[in-house]
Amino acid sequence: MGTVYIRRPAGADIKDNVCATHAFSKKWENHYAALALYFAYYNFVRIHSSIRVTPAMEAGPADHIWTLKELLSKIGR
C-alpha cells in the first residue's frame, strides 16, 4: 500500500516528493496573523447566540458591534 492512501485523507498531497499540507501555514508569522485575525473577528464582529452580543461588548472593551471593514482598518495600522 502506498503512502498516498494514508496522506490524502489527512489533507496532504505529495508533489515532487515534498509533502504539502492544506489549511495552515508552515510559516509562524502567517499562522500567527491568521490566528490573530480569527480571534479578533470572534471577539469583536461575531454575535454570539448565548449572550446576543459580541464577547468584547460583554466584557467592556467595545461599545458596538464592529463591521469586518472596521476590524480590518484597525488591524492595518
Residue-wise pLDDT tens for the chain (77 aa)? 555 555 555 555 555 555 555 566 678 898 898 899 999 999 999 999 999 999 999 999 999 999 999 999 998 76
By CB atoms closer than 10 A (0-12, 13-18, 19+), residue 55 is middle
Neighbours of 44 (CB within 10 A): 21
Q: What angle do CA 65, 68, 70 make, to 5 degrees?
A: 75
**What is the Cα Rg of the chain in Å?**
19
| 61 φ, ψ (degrees, to nearest 5) | -65, -20
**What is the reported pTM?**
0.64
